[in-house]
Every structure is written in structure tokens, then in C-alpha cells.
Structure 1
């Protein structure tokens, strides 16, 4: 999940909804991604730990220069933000020991246990699609 000043409240609501509906919230580890600029100007780690004292999480920094010059500003102003494209770079941002991720946008509210998503065997789904 991304963290930025515009959508911080939405991210907090998203985290709360994931934890509230999880059968084992203590097993959930959040991987937060923030822009380098926002992270240095605000103490994000303090904000997260004071809001969710027992939350297991990692905070990664995203260099907005990676997408500089690659964003088309003619589509929609809301899409102009570099963190909107962080999903493309997830494999480069998180350590290779993280082998599975459920990516949530900061405006998502979860109404069921994320373990159901986590337990989906995507390899089996791909095989079914191939066999059709």
C-alpha cells in the first residue's frame, strides 16, 4: 500500500479494514511504499506506529525519478502522481524473500478476510485458462 499526504487518511482506513476483517491479523505484514520526498518531510514510521501500535510493517521508499518523463499528463490530473505507478516497480522495491503480495490502493476498503485472496492458487487458475 502506498502512503502519501493526499491519501494518508484513506490508507489508514484501508489498513484498519484489513485488520478488522482478518481472522489472524497478527499474521499480516504490511509493506508500505512512500515517496522519498514525503518520507523525509514527515515521520511516517512514527505516524504508523502511533496509529497502529502492534502493526507489523516495513516502509520502503520510492524514487519518483523512476517515472519522471514517463507519465502522460494529458489523461487525468489524478493519474499524474508518481506513486500511482509503484505497482510496476514492486519487485524492485521489496526484498526477494517476499514472494507473494496483495497490493491494495490507498482508497480501498476491505470487507472480508484477506486470507481468502492470499490462499488463491494463481498457478492453478492459469492452468485452467490455458486448458480452455
Structure 2
């Protein structure tokens, strides 16, 4: 730490080292709420700029039925002079949804994590 007023380093995002795939240089991202490395889904992304434009993309389904939905809002509320990029997802295990946002302001990049409970459909067993 550079000075005594700084908070100690802490993990904001974490990965599961046991699920490392060296040929792809990837690790499994852990849920920002419960910490599980399985059951995590990132199905959307949003980009906002200072003039109030917001582009949101949502991915649905999988394999050959996979689709992307794109929405552009030209009157979005945005705080700041630069842009923000967000990843939007949910966790099967803790039934939470989350938004991981990266915002730029005056040469700094800030990170915000928002987690809320989600009402997932209950899957009945056979």
C-alpha cells in the first residue's frame, strides 16, 4: 500500500485455479455473491457513454438456437464524463443476479459490483 489511508488489497473478482485450462489460458470465474465456480452465467453486456447512449446486448439460448438481442437507448442516465462497461449475469447455485461495472473517470478505472436475489424457476424432479 502506498500510504496508510489506503484499504488493504482484496479480491473483487476471483477465479478457480483448479479449473485452469492452460491451452486457452483461462480459469473459471467465481460467482461474485457465493463464490461458486460452477453454475455461473454471463448473458449480457452494456456500454454507456457520457452523452446518454446505452447499448445493451443479451445472449439467449445455446448451440444453433443461440440469439443476440441488441437494444440502444439514447436517453439513458449516466454519471460521469467517460464511458462504463458492464457484464450482466446470474448464478444457479445462490439464485442471485449481478452486474459487474467498470467506469472510467479522470484517468482512473472504478469497479462496481451489484448483486440482487433473482426468482429462478423451480425445476421439478421426475
Per residue, is there more strand in 1 or in 2?
Answer: 2
Structure label with greater radius of gyration? 2
TM class, shorter-length: under 0.3
TM-score, normalising length: structure 2: 0.23
TM-score, normalising length: structure 1: 0.22
Per residue, is there more helix in 1 or in 2?
Answer: 1
